[in-house]
Chains A and B, each alone.
Chain A
Amino acid sequence: MRIVIAEDDALLREGLTMVLRAQDLDVVAAVGDGEQFLSAVDEHRPDAAVLDVRMPPTHTDEGIRAAVAARERIPGLPVLVLSAYVEQSFAADLLHSGAQGVGYLLKERVGRVSEFVAALHRVADGGTAIDPEVVAQLFARRRGADRLDALSPREREVLAAMAEGLGNTAVAARLALSDNALHKHIRSIFAKLGLSPDDSSDRRVAAVLRYLEGTR
């Protein structure tokens, strides 16, 4: 898998490159800002891109804007955005360009190498990877509000895992559930929230996120 990295901090840029190369991933370019990123993407047409949110010149949301711009040039380009802190509105900006092939994770998740690489693969395959922190923020904002209260604690865990972008197998593994039990939970959740059940995982993530975000 060919990857372009954009990260302004030299240590992190090299660290990231090291980590990915150690996992036999092909880092074709590692750059320091949004503009260089766009030209690197144009040049290399990578299978996935990993970006930092805050980069020069303004150190605010260059990474998000560069990711959105890159996806406008190359529709469906998988992008995984890393950030030192999560901001749910950044996630919303990112997901605005479609939930397929989008990831938004805290930077330190890179240290859990196998999970990070799994998330990267998921994104590269058109899936979604949303940081549990973002999901927790969304849940927190919705606390006390109506229909989420109707969910059982277990169902909430399932919903959170789905919102992160995990597929059924991964959710079942994380929560130690049987396939059957998981399907029962999912059906119940979708019924309680009034969402139409859909088996393709990215549409499911989109529906869940939109639900969490939309009725704030």
Chain B
Amino acid sequence: MNHRIRDDGRSILRRPQAAVRAWVHLVLAAGTGLLALCAVLLGLAVAVLSLIGLGLLLVRPWLALVRSIADLERGRLRRLGHPMTPPYDPLPKGWRRAVEAVREDRATRRDLGWLALHGTGGLVLAVIGVQSGTAMVTDLTSPLWARLLPRGEATVLLGLVQVDVGQGWIIALAAGLLAGIVFFVLTPLLDRATQETGLRLLSPHPDVDLSARITQLTATRAAALDAHGVELRRIERALHDGAQNRLVGVAMLTGAARESVRQDPEMAEAMMERAHGAAEDALAELRGVVRSILPPVLADRGLQGALSALAAACAVPCTCEVEVAVRCPVSVESTAYFVAAEALTNVSRHSDASRAELEVRRTGDRLRVSVRDDGRGGARPGSSSGTGLTGIARRVAALDGTVQIDSPLGGPTLLEVELPCGS
């Protein structure tokens, strides 16, 4: 962290606009700092009034004020590119709960900590930074504008030095240079420093963050188990209603044929014929089930070969680009294949597209699958093409991946799926 700050400071000498940017940030920081200072003073007043009881009733409105100021700061930090999530539950109801929140609620206490720091030290740092900029400009230009004012009126350094009296202009220029050094070297640091308290205290506590992550992981794990369960049920049904019933039929018919082969050879012949047909059906069913579990083409020819075959078989002309230097785990490849297959099925069934593009890339430890078509768009989970999308979402969620569908009415449609490959 320190290392980075120093680096920033050095590069600033080369890039003055960074200093200007930092200065603008500091102006806003000074704004929230001033508000924070007001809230601190109000808080002290509330605390004093609480001694006679009256203040207790004011805790809740005061907390509401604190939160809106904290939210302003969060907004400021968010605009600076930091992801900020408000960490707390809705404002507690009733003054007792409000007082309790001040005493016990971790997020509220972190807010208050920020308020105290930002309203005092933060404000001072921000003002110094802002001042350095304005002072640099006014002091350095003072010899020029001093002439426009009556003699002795033009002053720098808080009115201590008269620019146009004696050697005053030298002092003014020196003060301007000093302010300039502060401006170019220190404002970025001040900027960082004023952001730091907010970044640390206005985000959820690291533990809280972790628990949110745990909740999310638990959910994806549940989704994985769920998807797994659904998949198992599907396979079981496919085997039971298909191949198994056909084979039971084979056993039943061949048994019956054996029984009647002596007395009624014709009947036996008819039964054998049906048994034969049932055996062939069973084989076809088994092939289908095997293909749906792990497409043999994927095992034989890898993702690239399997996807090219998929694109070639698509009813809509489809280009296929695969850039996967390092093979991914089987589960990832098979999900990627499933996603591509479902998406292309959707394209040929629902989109009315004249062409489609399938693109699969591995960058680092993520595999990106994107399917684009120039059809009529409007693809939503839950619509007629939606069962496919729902299936995609479920299988992707099971691997902790993400799905994005961009499909305005009138098209085009872009489906993007990202899967972590875990390296």
A residues contacting B by CB (< 8 A) are 9, 11-12, 14-16, 18-19, 22, 54, 59, 84-85, 107-108, 110-114
Task: Check B240–A54 contact: CB distance below 8 A.
Answer: yes
List chain A residues, Cβ under 8 A from B346: none
* Contacting pair B255 A9 (CB below 8 A): no
User: A84: which B residues are within 8 A, CB to CB?
Assistant: 240, 244-245, 248
Residue of B nearest to A111 (CB): B255
Q: Quick check: A113 and B256 within 8 Å, CB to CB?
A: yes
Is B345 an interface residue, CB under 8 A from the partner?
A: no
The chain B residue sitting closest to A12, CB to CB, is: B249
The answer, among B244, B249, B267, for a CB contact under 8 Å with A22, is B267
Within 8 A of A (CB), among B389-415: none
> With an 8 A cutoff between CB atoms, is B253 at the interface?
yes
Nearest 4 CB-CB pairs, A to B? A111-B255, A111-B251, A108-B251, A19-B256
Q: Is the CB of A107 within 8 A of B252?
A: yes
The complex places the Cα of A112 from the Cα of B256 at a distance, in Å, of: 7
B241 contacts A by Cβ under 8 Å: yes
- Contacts A22-B264, A111-B251 given; does A11 touch B256 at CB 8 Å: no
B246 contacts across to A, CB distance below 8 A? 11
Known: A59-B241, A84-B245. A112 touches B255 (CB 8 A): yes
Residues of A within 8 A of B264 (CB): 22
CB-based contact B240/A11 at 8 Å:
no
**Nearest chain A CB to B263's CB is how many angstroms away?**
9
Give Cα A114 to B271, complex, Å.
Answer: 17
9 cross-chain CB contacts under 8 A:
A9-B245, A9-B249, A12-B248, A16-B252, A19-B259, A22-B260, A84-B245, A108-B248, A110-B248
Say yes or no for B194: interface residue by CB 8 A criterion.
no
A14: chain B residues at CB < 8 Å are 274
User: Would you call B254 an interface residue if the criterion is a C-beta within 8 Å of the partner chain's C-beta atoms?
Assistant: yes
Cβ–Cβ contact B248 & A18, under 8 A: no
Q: With a CB–CB cut-off of 8 A, which chain A residues contact B241? A: 9, 59
What does the 1/0 interface line of B274-302 toward A look like (CB < 8 Å)?
10001000000000000000000000000
Interface residues of B in 209-257 (CB under 8 A from A): 237, 240-241, 244-249, 251-256
Interface residues of chain B, those whose CB is within 8 Å of chain A, are: 237, 240-241, 244-249, 251-256, 258-260, 264, 267, 271, 274, 278
Total A-B pairs in contact (CB under 8 Å)?
66
- A24 smallest CB distance to B (angstroms): 11
CA distance A85 to B245 in the complex (A): 11
Query: In the complex, how many angstroms separate the beta carbon of B391 from the nearest chain A beta carbon?
Result: 21
Given contacts A59-B237, A84-B240, contact A12 B259 (CB under 8 A): no
Contact status of A22 and B259, CB under 8 A, knowing A11-B278, A15-B253, A54-B240: yes
Say yes or no: A113 contacts B255, CB within 8 Å.
Answer: yes
Tell me the complex Cα distance, A12–B271, Å.
12
A54 CA to B264 CA, complexed, in Å: 33
Which partner residue on chain A sits nearest B242 by CB separation? A9
A84 to B258, CA, bound (A): 22
Most chain A beta carbons < 10 A, residue from B244, B249, B252, B267: B252
Q: Which residues of B contact A111 (CB under 8 A)?
A: 251-256
B298 to chain A, nearest CB (A): 30
- Name the CB-closest residue of B to A117: B259
Assembly CA distance A5 to B245 (angstroms): 16
Q: Which residues of B contact A59 (CB under 8 A)?
A: 237, 241
Chain B's closest residue to A112 (CB) is B255
The distance from the CB of B269 to the nearest CB of chain A, in whole angstroms, is: 13
Contact partners of B248 in chain A: CB under 8 A? 12, 84, 107-108, 110
| Cα(A113)–Cα(B271), bound, Å | 13
Whether A11 contacts B249 by the Cβ 8 Å rule is: yes
- Determine the distance from Cα of A11 to Cα of B267 in the docked complex, in whole angstroms: 16
Distance between Cα atoms of A85 and B252 in the complex (Å): 15
| Docked pose: A114 CA to B259 CA in angstroms | 8
Bound together, the chains give a CA A110 to CA B259 distance in angstroms of 11
Q: How far is the CA of A84 from the CA of B254 in the complex (A)?
A: 17
A106 to chain B, nearest CB (A): 9
What is the CA–CA distance of A11 and B255 in the complex, to the nearest angstrom? 15
CA A18 – CA B256 in complex, angstroms? Answer: 8
Please state if A15 and B240 are interface contacts (CB–CB under 8 Å).
Answer: no
A82's nearest neighbour on chain B, judged by CB, is B248
Complex: A113 Cα to B263 Cα, angstroms? 14
Cα–Cα, bound, A59→B240 (Å)? 10
| Distance (whole angstroms) from the CB of A117 to the closest CB of chain B | 9
- A192 vs B39: C-alpha distance when bound (angstroms): 87
Q: How far is the CA of A84 from the CA of B246 in the complex (A)?
A: 11
Provide the residues of chain A in CB contact with B274, threshold 8 Å. 11, 14-15
Contacts of B271 on A, CB cut-off 8 Å? 15, 18
Assuming A19-B256, A22-B259, A22-B264, is B251 touching A11 (CB within 8 A)? no
Docked-complex contact B245 and A15, CB < 8 angstroms: no
> How far is A85 from B264 in the complex, measured between Cα atoms in Å?
31
- Shortest distance in angstroms between B207's beta carbon and chain A's nearest beta carbon? 45
